[in-house]
Amino acid sequence: MIILEENYWKEIDAFKNVDKENWENWKWQIANRLTALEEISKIFPVSDKLKEAFLKTTEIFHFGTTPYYLSLIKEFSYDNPIFRQIFPSLDEIDEEKQKHSYEDPFLEDTLSPVSGLTHRYPDRVLMRATNFCSVYCRHCMRKRMFLEEERARTKEEYEKMFQYIRENKQIKEVLISGGDPLTLPNKKIEYILKNLYEIEHLDIIRIGSRELVVNPYRFFDEGLLEIFYKYDKVWLVTHFNHPDEITNITKKAVKNILSTGTPVLNQTVLMKGINDSKETIETLMRSLLKVKIKPYYLFYCDPVKGTLHFRTDIKKGVEILEHLRGRVSGLATPIYAVDLENGLGKVPVFPNYIVEEAEDYIIFRNYEGRTVKQRR
Ligand SMILES: *Cc1c(COP(=O)(O)O)cnc(C)c1O
């Protein structure tokens, strides 16, 4: 866990005059997002190479970060796992590197009964509440949404989504994603949650958000915490990819969320040059548990246009799981999953612990490679 000292942002010249009240206010963090090259140039000297990458790439894929997330970068180069997640790279628009990728590989827009809603599994639906995010991740699986103008959905669009969920009683869970739903004002969040909460056949409302990573001050907002407490079907799924993203502020924020009775889980994407090693993932998973976040999924990088350069070999994730098993708490072990193209859903991929199967016995191996024959 990274310990950020009192007034840590004042170490950065561009932020040295920002007072505590502003810096620790989530709205200030969003209002003061950095989106332009001139703003970045005030933070660190941007080389000509980086300038070129920024300008060419952002013609297609925008740049944006909160001051908080930027302040976690220790070194302004692609070698840094946070820099690499937010700073545009020419690889994103390199035809060769992006060969065999798609804007919407999982047909989320095609499998939409009403605009903004994807119904892939019988008992749960995915709702895209907004197309705004406070940070634009270079590896975003919905990069296509950010090619459009930023906007929140209209009331009519929301009403149509609620209507569909009301009419389809087999739906037990709504996954609110985006964009980032927690960048919406509390009033809008309450409007969505109230409507969903009143649908009796819903058991859970899952919010997918990266605010805990990029703007943890969101969870110091009493209003939001009250909403979580009141609409007590909410689960929060967040998106940490590297141990450098977990700070003492994350820990306090998680404590606030847990105090409302809301469980916190995490999804990580396995990415080349960011976290594709056993050691990094092990540290990440251990660090998540330390701040009481349960690792849920480790995803194989999706074939999304503009992100394919982050993809590892598919076996890399299996090797990592193999490493974790037995060495790290079972609680720290996520499910490694591949999202199948054409909207066929996510499938888990496990190391194989069965060495041989016969009619009356099975030979297993354990994490150390020792084998045992057991009667069936
Ligand atoms: C990932 C996803 C879900 C949720 O899947 P879980 O395995 O329950 O986490 C639901 N709907 C869609 C469209 C998804 O992509």
Q: Which DSSP string do the residues of 317-350 spell out, in sequence order?
A: HHHHHHHHBTTB-GGG-PEEEEEEGGGTEEEE--
R_g over Cα of the chain: 21
Q: 235 CB less than 6 Å from ligand 1? A: no
Tokens of 235: 């689960």
Do the Cβ atoms of 304 and 103 come closer than 8 Å?
yes
Task: Name the nearest CA neighbour of 128 among 107, 108, 99.
Answer: 108
Instruction: Give the pairing type, strands 204-208 and 234-238.
Output: parallel
Q: Is 121 tagged catalytic?
A: yes
Pocket flag, ligand 1, residue 124 (CB < 6 Å):
yes
Q: Is the CB of 175 under 6 A from ligand 1?
A: yes
Asked if 120 is an active-site residue, the reply is yes
**Interval between CA 302 and ligand 1 midpoint (Å):** 14
pLDDT one digit per residue (tens) for the chain, 376 residues: 999 999 999 999 999 999 999 999 999 999 999 999 999 999 999 999 999 999 999 999 999 999 999 999 999 999 999 999 999 999 999 999 999 999 999 888 888 899 999 999 999 999 999 989 999 999 999 988 777 776 778 999 999 999 999 999 999 999 999 889 999 999 999 999 999 999 999 999 999 999 999 999 999 999 999 999 999 999 999 999 999 999 999 999 999 999 999 999 999 999 999 999 999 999 999 999 999 999 999 999 999 999 999 999 999 999 999 999 999 999 999 999 999 988 899 999 999 999 999 999 999 999 999 999 999 9
Instruction: State if residue 121 touches ligand 1 by the CB under 6 angstroms criterion.
Output: yes
Tell me how far the alpha carbon of residue 174 lies from the centroid of ligand 1, in angstroms.
Answer: 10
Closest by CA to 71, choosing from 7, 144, 26, is: 7
Task: Give yes or no for residue 337 CB within 6 A of ligand 1.
Answer: no
The CA-based angle 281-182-110, given to 5 degrees, is 80
Q: Cite the beta strand spans of 150-281 per DSSP E.
A: 173-177, 204-208, 234-238, 264-270
> Would you state the torsion angle of the CA atoms of residues 256, 257, 258, 263, taken in this order, to the nearest 10 degrees?
-170
Choice among 180, 244, 276, 302 that is catalytic:
302
Concerning whether 276 is annotated as a catalytic residue, the answer is no
Domain ranges of the chain: 8-93, 117-351
- Helix ranges (H only) for 12-104 are 20-23, 26-31, 37-41, 48-58, 67-71, 81-86
- Separation CA 257–CA 264 (nearest Å): 8
Q: Which of 27, 144, 346, 365 is catalytic?
A: 346
**Fold observed for domain 117-351:** TIM Barrel (3.20.20)
Please give the pLDDT value at position 151: 72
Q: Which pLDDT does position 152 carry in this prediction?
A: 73
How many other C-beta atoms lie within 10 A of the C-beta of residue 11? 11
Return the closest-CA partner of residue 214 out of 242, 195, 176: 242
